[in-house]
Structure 1
Amino acid sequence: MAVSNQTIVTEFILQGFSETPSLHLALFCIFFFFYIMALAGNTLIVVTIRQDSGLHTPMYFFLANLAMLDIGCTTTVLPKLLENLADKKSIPYAGCMTQLYFLTWFLGAELLLFTAMAYDRYVAICHPLHYTTMMSRMVCILLAGSVWTISTINSSVHTGLMIQLTFCGPNKINHFLCEIPTLLQLSCTSTYLNNTMVIIADIYLAVINFVLTMVSYGFIISSILKIHTTEGKKKAFSTCSSHLIVVIIYYTTVIYTYILPGSGSSTDNVKAVAVLYTTVSPAVNPLIYTLRNKDVKGALRKLLVRWFSF
């Protein structure tokens, strides 16, 4: 089948990181370590929160959702990356679209979830007397459900529009994954509608949610500064500092990739940034949240003691 005397693409070639075979083994070991670390750490967080009744609060409910999203994100990308480093660089067209769908889904959901988590911390610190009412079980379920639903719709729209495009060569993706910016560069048909929807999604998912998150933390910091005791300030800030660290890292990398793709950034820089939000962030998030949180550390310690006592 041909379009304008060119063959329709049935598979893509992911060029990955390096054409030097001697580096592949080292990279394989590094990414395999991060993958196991991400799976183990985030699974442990989900199990710990589920098993410990003391962690059945809105903050940890959202943290469990974040852990599940991190598992999904890293599982969408790393198995194929490891396969790529084992010299299987091709990915079928359907496989590429599937990876695009799930990656877009999980990335969008994390941006929305960060806003929900920021709102939870805002209510907890700025309106503590009304916290149980404003963050009731039903409110939490509605917020989490909205996060998953909106991100699913967003991903379906982008993937549906991508499927409508024609790819008739070249089929080499100078990246280690299938994502919107790199695929649009390979299309031999108009990408105007795709680019328009990307801009709309960027404004809503990244810009607006980032502003809402920062506004929430503006109110939070203002309230913390009004606390008279040093111990009170430390306790209040400790409940939101971990989340703020994760938000800053994540938004920085996503904005660099999706909002500033034409800023002159080199391909190597784009790949390095993609590693941060698909590999490093899911792996270190459990460490950030557990090492800075006494409740999680205590619950985790009890869970491990229970497991190893059998």
Structure 2
Amino acid sequence: MQAQTCRFTLQPRSAFGTALAGDTLFGQLCWAIRERFGEARLTALLAGYTRGQPFLVVSDAFPAGLLPRPSVPDFLLGLDVDPAQRKQARQRTWLPAADIGRPLREWLERATAAPHQRHDVLTQNTINRLTGTTGTGPFAPRQVARTTFAAETRLDVYCIIDATRFALDELAQVLGDVGHTGFGRDSSTGLGKFDLLVRTEQTWPHTASRHALSLAPCAPDPTRTEASACFYQPLTRFGRHGNLAALTARPYKRPVLMMRTAAFLTLREPGIPPFFGSGLGGIDAPISAAIPATVHQGYAPLVPLDAELRP
């Protein structure tokens, strides 16, 4: 695989009903590839996906110029003493990407709180056309989450592509398609719109460390990690199909267990690869009864870390 890492900077043009998570965005990009280049091209790109040969790995969307704080115990960040200090420091959840090469114990000196974005919970209704009002069951009022960004907000998405199979210009095309039609829930009513501003080749500071930060939810590969030196939070994905498959009688996929974004990983061998994880689904281990060939992104881009594990 000829791995190439690129950073895309996006500008939100509307509120979002679904968080811009890497595995969810990957799924919508696959539908966009099918729409633009045809189903045969998508099938060819997905060949070998569950055998460690992804053509594309996508990160979550992060505030521009920032990376998430890893899910590590406080002592690894130098917070050993004052509980009040630890509570205040937990609000500083983002680190400037330019400082990613600094030792992990110095991160909090430069970490910052979350940028300005508002998370709301709204009441949504569906009208029963027979009665002209709401009711019970599918017509009962429900609560939905929505994220609104400040006008100056920019988001960074890190993508790793196999340049021999999928060109960077093609990725920019389908990413722009997703931004135009809308990402995630309620895109048909105007949510999830964004513009693609710039793309930049991304390189991380070289380190001989075996430690890394994951930039998307991923399915762990225990054969490549030291379990006693990894820290993460679990995540259960209750996925569903998108595009036209969302309108079928069986739109839901089987739940999958993953590690949340910002996992702290320790690999058995030095030298951090561009991505980590396992491809999920496919004919051999289907996660969808409706479309057995469906895959789920179980890979995540990795960022090398300068960390020292000591109590």
Q: TM-score range by the shorter chain?
A: under 0.3
User: What is the TM-score of this pair, normalised by structure 1?
Assistant: 0.25
Higher helix share: 1
User: What is the TM-score of this pair, normalised by structure 2?
Assistant: 0.25
